[in-house]
């Protein structure tokens, strides 16, 4: 959708794939695109390559789920970084794998670590660090964080710096931790810490989490959501409908059935080159 290929997986399937890879000593990177990430990646080939280079790409934004349903290739469910941080922490607690929390407001990673270990007492947090703003604008700042994370030897790293900063940093970190898995999770660390409120479950299911976040942080998010992302989402859904019409076999009944029933998904196609 919008040029971004998405893996048709449930949250449970993502956790199983990460577990199997870690058991085999293979590392990886999870990207959870929403409308904003798709918009940025579509405009910048280097960012699109960051997304396509990830081992797993799962739809965080509901407009992506809706677009897939309109196309007749529904995804099984929305899979968010804010939920994966809990699901993967539970996995790590069961397997004894250490995790590292990187990013978020000052104090948030430490508070998130306390919340996660309160839920999963066996969880080992080997590091929790909120780098100062702008650390990644200098080689010295990036190297300091890189050495700190690599020295902790985590098996799972949650990086909450926002796209594309978190994903660029993950690309740097992977060379030093080839057997670790990285989740670019945006605001998930702040959500887990309780320093930022998350939308109620009913708003998430209805695709209104963006409205809740806009109401919580209008000064920071109004332009992004209303000026940049909303027109992109409308175009994405419109193009999906036009493609379905061109493909033929479209009926209102089929569209409605696809909209309300998440049928079998479709895996990503070949990665683009060049």
Among the residue ranges 26-40, 83-97, 104-118, 256-270, the one predicted with the least confidence is: 256-270
Record the pTM. Answer: 0.87
Contacts of 255 (CB under 8 A, 6+ apart): 70, 244
Confidence of residue 262 (pLDDT cuts 50, 70, 90): very low
- d(CA 241, CA 229) in angstroms, rounded, equals 18
- Nearest Cα to 78, choosing from 20, 6, 21? 6
pLDDT at residue 270, rounded to an integer: 37
Report the sign of the C-alpha dihedral through residues 14, 65, 6, 99, in that order: negative
Q: What is the DSSP letter of 206?
A: T
Most confident of 5-19, 61-75, 199-213: 5-19
- d(CA 34, CA 52) in angstroms, rounded, equals 14
**pLDDT tens by residue, 132-176:** 999 999 999 999 999 999 999 999 999 999 999 999 999 999 999
DSSP string, 161-174: S-TTHHHHHHHHHH
Residue 201, preceding bond cis, omega within 30 degrees? no
What are the start-end ranges of the E strands in the chain? 28-31, 56-57, 99-103, 125-129, 156-160, 181-184
**pLDDT tens by residue, 105-124:** 999 999 999 999 999 999 99
Scored b (16 or more CB within 10 A) or e, 70-109 reads bbbbbbbbbbbbbbbbbebbbbbbeeebbbbbbbbbeebb
């Amino acid at each position: 959708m919008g040029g971004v290929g998405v893996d048709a997986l449930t949250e449970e399937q993502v956790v199983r794939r990460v577990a199997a890879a870690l058991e085999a000593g293979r590392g990886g990177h999870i990207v959870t695109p929403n409308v904003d990430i798709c918009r940025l990646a579509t405009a910048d080939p280097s960012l699109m390559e960051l997304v396509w280079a990830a081992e797993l790409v799962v739809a965080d934004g509901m407009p992506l789920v809706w677009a897939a349903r309109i196309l007749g290739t529904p995804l099984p469910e929305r899979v968010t970084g804010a939920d994966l941080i809990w699901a993967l922490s539970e996995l790590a607690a069961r397997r004894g794998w250490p995790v590292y929390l990187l990013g978020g407001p000052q104090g948030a990673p430490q508070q998130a670590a306390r919340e996660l270990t309160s839920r999963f007492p066996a969880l080992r947090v080997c590091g929790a660090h909120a780098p100062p703003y702008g650390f990644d604008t200098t080689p010295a700042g990036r190297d300091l964080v890189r050495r700190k994370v690599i020295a902790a030897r985590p098996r799972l790293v949650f990086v909450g710096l926002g796209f594309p900063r978190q994903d660029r940093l993950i690309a740097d970190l992977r060379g030093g931790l080839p057997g670790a898995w990285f989740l670019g999770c945006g605001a998930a660390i702040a959500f887990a810490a309780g320093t930022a409120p998350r939308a109620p479950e009913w708003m998430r299911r209805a695709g209104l989490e963006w409205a809740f976040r806009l109401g919580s942080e209008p000064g920071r998010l109004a332009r992004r959501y209303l000026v940049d992302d909303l027109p992109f989402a409308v175009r994405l859904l419109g193009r999906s409908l036009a493609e379905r019409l061109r493909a033929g076999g479209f009926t209102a009944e089929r569209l409605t059935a696809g909209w309300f029933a998440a049928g079998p998904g479709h895996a990503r196609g070949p990665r683009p080159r060049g």
